[in-house]
């Protein structure tokens, strides 16, 4: 509803601003034509002071009206841009610049419906930075923020198609949704993500360049009416935990999105 309200406000301001500009141009044209007509008539220069004096209130009223209308439209125009920026900020993570979990909640159902309509495969990847808690304890939280930004940039560099979606799920976890991506392409993209993070060289003051790795769980499926957001995210999350259990720095593919906790080995959740 908020997005619809903002869209309606922007449309109203834009339409009103266009009408206002059209009205202002027409008023200027009419004024110019009137002045040209008066100059062409037999009105002598001596009559102009009395003519202006008799219409001074009308001129002042017209100027005040133009000023008020102009101020109102410029205020609404600025307000609409502020609302757009606020809406954009609410859907992005301030640290990494990626979409946030709220944006995923809004976008994933749309991608699922589009995939179901086209009957094309859709891949979801759940990504976690390995030993990130230990990284923060050793190098400090400021370096941890730098690491999060670097990993986010590396992951985003792999998801570059127009409809690819990647967000920060929370903490050191990320989620990527890739429409029209089969299981083979998903594994290739996961390997590219793993390598792009391995290639990162962070500059941490007083320490040698630390190496980061990630663990990835991914699932590829053709969406059915019975597929839910939680099924895909839960299956990819459990596959990521399997990657952790197998030694980290690798990817694991989930087999199905139906009852993921029954089809995957459940591992104890580890945040490191």
Report whether 113 contacts 56 (CB < 8 A): no
Tell me which of 118, 172, 173, 188 is the catalytic residue.
Answer: 172
Report whether 129 contacts 190 (CB < 8 A): no
For 90-172, strand residue ranges (E) read 121-129, 165-170
Active site residue 172: yes
Report whether 211 contacts 237 (CB < 8 A): no
CA distance 259 to 272: 26
CA distance 81 to 87: 10
Element (H, E) at 33: helix 2-40
Q: Give the list of residues 6+ apart from residue 187 with CB closer than 8 angstroms, or none.
A: 218, 251, 253
Q: Which of 173, 171, 213 is nearest to 191 (CA)?
A: 213
For the chain, strand residue ranges (E) read 121-129, 165-170, 173-179, 214-222, 251-253
Please list the active-site residues: 172
């Amino acid at each position: 509803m908020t997005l619809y309200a903002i869209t309606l406000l922007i449309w109203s301001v834009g339409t009103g601003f266009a009408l206002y500009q059209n009205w202002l141009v027409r008023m200027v044209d009419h004024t110019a034509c009137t002045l040209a007509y008066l100059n062409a008539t037999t009105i002598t220069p001596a009559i102009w002071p009395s003519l202006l004096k008799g219409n001074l209130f009308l001129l002042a009223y017209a100027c005040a009206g133009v000023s008020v209308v102009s101020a109102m439209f410029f205020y609404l125009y600025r307000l609409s841009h502020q609302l757009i920026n606020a809406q954009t900020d609410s859907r992005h993570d301030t640290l990494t610049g990626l979409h946030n979990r709220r944006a995923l909640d809004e976008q994933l159902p749309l991608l699922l419906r589009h995939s179901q309509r086209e009957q094309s495969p859709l891949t979801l990847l759940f990504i976690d930075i390995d030993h990130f808690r230990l990284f923060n304890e050793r190098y400090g939280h400021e370096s941890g923020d730098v690491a999060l930004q670097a990993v986010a940039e590396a992951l985003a560099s792999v998801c570059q198609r127009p409809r690819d979606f990647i967000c920060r799920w929370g903490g050191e976890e990320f989620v990527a949704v890739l429409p029209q991506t089969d299981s083979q392409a998903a594994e290739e993209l996961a390997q590219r993500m793993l390598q792009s993070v391995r290639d990162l060289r962070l500059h941490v003051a007083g320490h040698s360049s630390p190496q980061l790795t990630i663990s990835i769980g991914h699932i590829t499926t053709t969406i059915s009416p019975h597929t839910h957001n939680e099924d895909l995210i839960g299956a990819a999350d459990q596959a990521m935990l399997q990657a952790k259990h197998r030694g980290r720095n690798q990817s694991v593919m989930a087999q199905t999105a139906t009852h993921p906790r029954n089809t995957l080995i459940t591992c104890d959740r580890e945040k490191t």
